[in-house]
Structure 1
Amino acid sequence: MSEPRPSSDHNGTRPEDFRHLVTVLDLVRSGRATTRPELTRRSGLGRTVINQRVAQLARHGLVEEGDLAQSTGGRAARQLRFRADGGLVLVAELGATSLTIGATNLAGEVVEFHDETCDIADGPDAVLGRVEALFHEILDKIGARSADVWGIGIGLPGPVEFATGRPIAPPIMPGWDGYPVRDRLGGAFDAPVWVDNEVNLMALGEVRAGSGSQHDDILYVKIGTGIGAGLVSGGRLHRGRQGCAGDIGHAAVLDDESIVCRCGNTGCLEAVAAGAALARDGTRAAETGRSSVLAEALRDRGRIEASDVVHAATRGDRTAVELLVTAAHHIGTLLATLVSFYNPSLVIIGGGVAKAGDLLLATIRQNVYQRSLPLATRELRIEQSTLHDRAGLTGAAFMVLDELFTPARLAQWLHATTPHGIPALADTTA
């Protein structure tokens, strides 16, 4: 793996100047400032510094000038635009039973997308081998080269040590413990790779490009095969010391030793309310004749999945509705504690089970509003995800871009114009 390059560019930029460079770049790429006068007002930097940094960013192909902006009484300023088409980010979200991959531009916008079923329990060699093959297929499909890849973002359905990009004792991922995901993909594509828990990336995607874009403090809850949460505090993703913040699926909600979770403990939220639990309870309802709709699905397909329970509930099947309401009750009860503790302004519900819509949300809202402190719920909104199955991909892209555009890392690759070819960037401290 190649070594990071020296922390100054070939024009002799002082290391401390990269902080100003990133300030200007962030304002332009976020759209908060699109002219030099706006940059001066929003950044607090002088006109000379702004002109120098804009010229430097343009020289390296990150920013370009456009048409004249509308005049406000004086000389019209030239508009500035971030060159989002200057490179690509490859992204993948690995769930327990699904795989979603894509490519985004440098603005985090998904330009190509693919999803398929996948069993994470097949192990890292099989699953990541499939990810690599699909990445190459996507590059071919959009007419891009591996050299166009600026970075790779991966979301995994388990605890990830963010500093190393390695899953640590993931409950539902046999064979993945300590696996060097970053090293493997970085070597395969010669680009820096960052890895995080999939729900963290969904939360990041929503706060940067979804329903959380106007909120600084949000809680994203994914209800799929498992259950997890991502926390954004003060506009920044909160990972915790080792990167496992938000692992609410294994919080105990029942004192019942007969309900064994995949993590080995009993009474976990995931074991009583996640998609796998709905499928289990739905199968029992089909086999015992409590639900004619689910019994029909079992006869037709030979198995019951959470989506079958959701579908049956939307058709008015009483047993399926009861299963969903019971799951939502457990989820809402735990969320009420988190809302009082964390005091977010927005709770976003995502994942496959969230497709049940108001059948699920109504019970969750009821429990949260009844059990949380009044002050904590005064301005609280609880909504369904707006990015749906692209939240994780979008978040993975922003994870990569945010890491690439820190002052310390930008100083290591700016002189080369692209971070491609420097996979060791991900190993350095931002």
Structure 2
Amino acid sequence: MDFQRRLLRLLRDEGPLSRADLGNRLNLPRTRVIAELERLVASDLVREAGPSASRGGRRSTLVELHPGIRFAGVDLGATSIDIEITDGRLGPIAAYSEPADIRSGPQAVLSRVDAILAKLRAEGAYRRLNGIGIGVPGPVSFRDGVPVSPPIMPGWDRYPVRRLLAHEHHCPVVVDNDVNVMAVGERHGGVARSAESMLFVKIGSGVGCGILLGGELYRGSDGCAGDIGHIQVQPHDPVCTCGSIGCLEALFSGIALEREATAAARSGASAALARRLTLYGSVSAKDVAECAAEGDATSLRLIREGGRRLGGVLAGLVSFINPSMIVIGGGLTGLGSVLLAEIRSVVYRRSLPLATGNLPVVLSELGTRAGVAGASFLASDLAFAEAS
């Protein structure tokens, strides 16, 4: 029932509470609360947690989530797998990361997910999972739990990710776009805890935006809201992975930055980047950041141009949505203060003062944990809903 779901979420978000507190929060009589708690105790979802702190008189008995509850948050990136096991209150129990290539296909990548989870289980991180949340770097049908025509994920279109993981691990599974998952993580465990409306922008191999309105994730009618990487910012080259021309992602992303930095190194436009290309055989976003920190004019130009392009897109979103916060996350946040300053400058200059007067534009507090934290949160929401 809905109130059981709300009860479990209260214990997740606020910790141990007395029966009286739960009754007051849920607006239910004490006898009903006791009856429902007995059912949840029998299901190993809650337990008694001892007496409350003394306030004079008889002390209330607290109840808490069962300490054996476990959720798995899985964050699949274009080049990585990150997994975290959490308890019922979403506190981290164990974590594991490794490089991966999402283009190797769903069988190979999900086999590694299964193997990592088996490893964590063997190490004692969990006996059984109550739920799994997984974020993938492409459009997702949230209703069906499948990726849909993801540009950088060949072989993943309509692959039954949710069904197969649920079958393998015998628990509820939720699948969402990676940036949506990161937005949820930042909203519930990061810098955006008090934000009712927020744009979470991930800048990595691609560019995406998670949208929170009224404290809830907005996915759109088909689950593809926030796909800002494929907004056209110029009417000519380069061609994007989606097949269109002049997309934001084709002009500013990890892949685009590496392309532009490599061209600058080979043409001699940047001696600093050329040295790194000779030394390492390639140049990365990290190289651009380090060269910019050393004062390389070309690297600084590449970062500022990218910030201006992203800032222009965000300025349009600010005028349309009027968010209370913009959070920037993803691998390219390593480009540092130059990037953030450029984004802020464009957003504040090109949006109306009423929309930006109280609009912080900040970096993610959770950093690389945003994805796994959000995935665990979504897994807990689903598991608590199905338990009620």
For normalisation by structure 1, the TM-score amounts to 0.86
The residue aligned with 2:164 is 184
Equivalent position SS for 1:281: helix
Q: Identical aligned pairs, as a percentage? A: 43
Return the letter of the residue paired with 1:115. S
Matched residues in 2 for 1:19 and 1:154: separation? 24
Return the letter of the residue paired with 1:218. M
The residue aligned with 2:202 is 222
- 1:33: Cα distance to partner? 6.9
Return closer, same or farther for 1:393/1:365 CA change in 2, 3 Å cut-off. Answer: same
Matched residues in 1 for 2:18 and 2:41: separation? 13
- 1:37: Cα distance to partner? 2.9
Asked whether 1:324 is paired with 2:303, we answer: yes
Equivalent position SS for 2:283: coil
Q: Is the 8 A contact 2:15 2:89 kept in 1?
A: no
Structural RMSD (CA)? 1.7
Q: Which runs of 5+ in 2 are unaligned?
A: none
Equivalent of 1:47 in 30, 45, 68: 30
Please say which of residues 193-202 and 131-140 is displaced more in the overlay.
Answer: 131-140
- 1:137: Cα distance to partner? 1.6
Matched residues in 2 for 1:329 and 1:181: separation? 37
The residue aligned with 2:384 is 405
Equivalent position SS for 2:33: helix
Return the letter of the residue paired with 2:387. L
The residue aligned with 1:161 is 141
Q: How many residues align?
A: 388
Q: Is the 8 A contact 1:310 1:353 kept in 2?
A: no
Matched residues in 1 for 2:52 and 2:262: separation? 62
- 1:55: Cα distance to partner? 3.3
Please say which of residues 47-56 and 315-324 is displaced more in the overlay.
Answer: 47-56
Asked whether 1:80 is paired with 2:63, we answer: yes
The residue aligned with 2:182 is 202
- 1:143: Cα distance to partner? 5.3
Q: Is the 8 A contact 1:90 1:151 kept in 2?
A: yes
Matched residues in 1 for 2:125 and 2:194: separation? 35
Matched residues in 2 for 1:136 and 1:35: separation? 36
The residue aligned with 1:344 is 323
Q: Which runs of 5+ in 1 are unaligned?
A: 1-17, 412-430
Matched residues in 2 for 1:115 and 1:330: separation? 31
Return closer, same or farther for 1:208/1:300 CA change in 2, 3 Å cut-off. Answer: same
The residue aligned with 1:361 is 340
The residue aligned with 1:104 is 86
Equivalent of 1:114 in 96, 100, 104: 96
The residue aligned with 1:60 is 43
Equivalent position SS for 2:212: strand
Matched residues in 2 for 1:33 and 1:340: separation? 42
The residue aligned with 2:294 is 315
The residue aligned with 2:193 is 213
Cα shift readout 1:298-321 (whole Å, capped 9, x = no counterpart): 112111122221222222222111
Return the letter of the residue paired with 1:323. L
Return the letter of the residue paired with 1:49. R
Cα shift readout 1:237-261 (whole Å, capped 9, x = no counterpart): 11111111110000011122x2111
Equivalent position SS for 1:65: strand
Matched residues in 2 for 1:402 and 1:42: separation? 18
For normalisation by structure 2, the TM-score amounts to 0.95
Please say which of residues 185-194 and 390-399 is displaced more in the overlay.
Answer: 185-194
Please say which of residues 261-270 and 34-43 is displaced more in the overlay.
Answer: 34-43
The residue aligned with 1:415 is none
Asked whether 1:389 is paired with 2:368, we answer: yes
Return the letter of the residue paired with 2:271. S
The residue aligned with 1:234 is 214
Cα shift readout 1:125-175 (whole Å, capped 9, x = no counterpart): 222222222221222223544xx1122221111001011111111111111
Asked whether 1:69 is paired with 2:76, we answer: no
Asked whether 1:20 is paired with 2:3, we answer: yes
Equivalent of 2:17 in 18, 34, 44: 34
Return the letter of the residue paired with 1:37. A
Q: Is the 8 A contact 1:24 1:53 kept in 2?
A: no
Q: Is the 8 A contact 2:285 2:335 kept in 1?
A: no
Please say which of residues 164-173 and 290-299 is displaced more in the overlay.
Answer: 290-299
Q: Is the 8 A contact 2:73 2:132 kept in 1?
A: yes
- 1:294: Cα distance to partner? 1.3
- 1:291: Cα distance to partner? 1.7
